[in-house]
Structure 1
């Protein structure tokens, strides 16, 4: 089944990080042929009977670097970052980056890596292939975004319940926004005037909530009840897309009408990416990527993957 937006001569790949087998799969979305790269630990000696599983790296997050023609994986089991050559699709090596790296963003030749277990952000110099600095943030940080418009890092801290604004040059806290629940994922509006925050109410056991923050005055202007145990959020035109782990659902929220559409997306969903009119959702429990057509929110295709697909990336 060929996706109908395919343009002759244009290659389009879906990359899938397999946390359970330490593979990154590259799937051609025209032919659905695939190849693999094995991610290897930088040093297994420091992993005596790892609490997650024995001697796995655990690739969790994928980052595309078009300038350097690289793909980076953040590996949460052995606390490392790995480099893959994008063109040759070859593994180049792994390096220590910090305790439980869960997210990262490119900035001035470095990857700023969120380390959930040390409440910090590491600065990994890509050229030198080493950590050159680190700064403290809030409790159990989850996501980092860089705003070119505001020249600020935004970091969500789940346990301390705030969004921090960090100076990217001096790594100091410029401001913060307190929330009434636990912020997990964050996404900008297209003009970077608003920040959308996916929150969970772990203490009360209540439903999830999306907070909309006006970045002009850092004020919460609206909140939307949606899902439970929210994992990821994305803003596309007039819609929000939210992944919910409790109900194993992928939800579309029309920001104009408030109407919601929700579909089952497999057991233990961990990530999704959107490209053109399709959403690709990784189900780590099913070892599948489910493809949904966004206008109808109907399942369009199912792609079998290796064990525990956790991070997704589209590359054209």
Structure 2
């Protein structure tokens, strides 16, 4: 503040949100005590509990039934040993219809927390699987999906994680970018995410974000790279377009005949969630970005 007095404008009259052992709090403006006060006493006497605004949840009766079934599978899925939870949970989506543009929210349309389990695209499939790994009840799933889909758990179009690498670059991170760890042949390029070649934006209302994106060229993805991947890693198909990081997303998993990419395919021959032989898929794209979930 002393070095940059103008920064005061960014804090003046804003309440401070703070997590304590007594719960989440909005700290009051100012501090009127003449001597130190135990935090438990101070928060109990002066700070108000934080109650976040409840976002509108949009879920159909059929999706609610599917969610209950998925949560039952989750409760029966061990957290360690055997197949990873992501493999078991994503398997429940095999054959689910492909559906684009299921989320609601834009520059001019209020964001809704959509739970559509009757049809998914590649990224909502990843959203739902990752949220299911973190939940055993409906309420826990809603909280987990909010944390996975939105920066800092704030439901809104501007805070939605629109790009794959938002999972590793955002707050809090959902995954770690391990692309460079998986291959010494990885290449890092600078992207201007959301910027179209014609000067416009892919998503009106969102800023252009400068980001370093690391990928492994498809021709350098060999058995050594595959051996360093973990079941449950999220794989993005690298985009050559400078305004995008990836064009497609799926889960790397072990299949009966070798590794597969479990993904919601928009190809006319599929139009559903399928298992695609991993190396066959890699040969069809410029390269891959690898994110490893933190849970």
- Structure in which a larger fraction of residues adopt strand: 1
TM-score, with normalisation over the residues of structure 1?
0.28
Structure with the greater alpha carbon radius of gyration: 2
- Structure in which a larger fraction of residues adopt helix: 2
TM-score, with normalisation over the residues of structure 2?
0.29
Q: Which structure carries more relative contact order (alpha carbon 8 Å, separation 6+)?
A: 2
